[in-house]
Amino acid sequence: MKGFFIHVMEKVDIKNFSLESLEDFLQGLGKEKYRAKQIFKWLYQRGATSFEDMTNLSKDFRRELALQARITTLEPEKIEISVDGTKKYLFLLEDGSSIESVLIPEEDRATLCVSTQVGCAMGCRFCLTGTFKLERNLSCAEIVNQICAFRGTDRITNIVLMGMGEPLANLDNVISALKIMTCPDGFQISNRRVTVSTSGLVPEIERLGQAVTVNLAVSLNATTDEQRDLLMPINKKYPIAELIVACRNFPLPNRRMITIEYVLVRGVNDSLDDAKRLVKLLRGIPVKVNLIRFNEYDGCEFRTPEQDSIDRFHSYLLEKNLTVITRASRGADISAACGQLRAKLEKGEKN
């Protein structure tokens, strides 16, 4: 069959487009720009899964779209619900890899924790995800489809990019996904309720701030470079001083604060001296500090601090007038806690 081949045109995944890029795509097909908003509403507000459903578009247009583009979805392979109501979905992706998303219901809100990569290249020593290496980035469609999957049954008021992966190492796809989350024709989530968490990629923090308005959370986790080099290898590239400057320069809308995440690890970063250094580091930056108890997992080298040292750390920051909360660990019984996503699966407990 030499010389004979069929050219199959790859259809675009329509959920990879931000509103602006969908407008450009449609204009390339000779369509009106405002059609993009109509399509967005179908995809993200009504959960349409086929172009056929989009009844305010002409039949011909729907047919043409179906030839050019496809609408993907993610169906959970497995759902686990914790005694505290935390709900974890495991999704199998087209290439066979898997990711997880976690919904955390609280009295006044429901927060979805979304993954941005399969695995993570950052290799933080206290993080189970970090031991899996990076397999690949998620596409924009794969990021927003995690939200679509929950939206069918759950109300979502807040989104945090704190699942598997380093969001700023997948910045272009993450920016498109953030635009869809906050778009009035998309998921319509206020940008005050969307948070990107990073291990501290300094140039990307700046790029993120230029591209979108969302909340920033920085996983600081240490107060000296010596400590942080050990816990988070990325610190060798972007040491604490540079990271603090990036926080200082991050454009914040009125009265908003950067979240500083600080995982308390017994005997490593939980002393009163650490608390004192932390206060000094953060002086003059509008921050709220999120203290997180280290979550132990099988084979980990670290331990959760005693309650006493957590309280002492917390009180010291309060005394110095920092806004601080110690985060309650949610969903521990289903391995939905920080840094534990996909743990069970990798250990062969798939079924």
What's the min distance (Å) between Cβ of 291 and ligand SAH?
10
Residue 270 binds ligand SAH, judged by CB under 6 A? no
Task: Pick the closer one to ligand SF4 by CB: 120 or 246.
Answer: 120
Asked if 291 contacts 325 with a C-beta cutoff of 8 angstroms, the reply is: yes
Q: Are 69 and 13 in contact (CB under 8 A)?
A: yes
Residue with token string 């989350």: 181
CA distance 314 to 320: 10
The region, left, alpha or beta by phi > 0 then psi within -120 to 50, assigned to residue 194 is beta
Query: Least distance (Å) from ligand SAH to the CB of residue 341?
Result: 9
Q: Is 338 designated active site?
A: yes
Site for ligand SF4 in 215-244 (CB under 6 A): 219
Quote the Cα angle for 292-298-302, to 5°. 50
Q: Smallest gap, in angstroms, from Cβ of residue 316 to ligand SAH?
A: 20
Beta strand extents in the chain (DSSP E only): 12-13, 69-70, 76-81, 87-92, 98-105, 110-113, 117-119, 134-137, 158-161, 194-198, 215-219, 258-264, 287-293, 323-327
Q: Which of 80, 100, 142, 166 touches ligand SAH by CB under 6 A?
A: 166
β-bridge pairing 76-81 and 87-92: antiparallel
Which amino acid does the sequence have at 271? Answer: S
Nearer residue to ligand SAH within complex by CB, 139 or 219: 219
Q: How far is Cα 186 from Cα 189, in angstroms, rounded to an integer?
A: 8
Closer CB to ligand SF4, residue 233 or residue 286? 233
Instruction: Return the one option of ligand SF4, ligand SAH, none that residue 54 interacts with (CB less than 5 to 8 A, by type).
Output: none
100 is catalytic: yes
Catalytic-role residue among 23, 100, 166, 261: 100
- CB nearer to ligand SF4: give 71 or 263: 263
189/42 Cα distance (integer angstroms):
16
Residue 129 binds ligand SF4, judged by CB under 6 A: yes
Contacts of 347 (CB under 8 A, 6+ apart): 298
Contact status: 326 vs ligand SAH (CB under 6 A): no
Q: Choosing among ligand SF4, ligand SAH, none, which partner's interface includes residue 138 (Cβ < 5 to 8 Å by kind)?
A: none
Region near ligand SAH per CB under 6 A, out of 26-34, 133-141, 192-200, 317-325: 192-200
DSSP assignment string, 141-187: HHHHHHHHHHHTT----EEEE-SSS-GGGGHHHHHHHHHHHH-TTTT
The reply to whether 204 sits near ligand SF4 by the rule CB under 6 A is no
Q: Which is nearer to ligand SAH, 118 or 292 (CB)?
A: 292
CA distance 54 to 48: 8
Catalytic residue among 120, 140, 183, 338: 338
Residues near ligand SAH (CB under 6 A) are 126-127, 162, 166, 197-199, 219, 221, 261, 263, 292, 294-295, 338-339
List the catalytic residues.
100, 338
Would you tell me which residues interact with ligand SF4 (CB under 6 A)? 120, 122-124, 127, 129-130, 165-166, 199, 219, 339
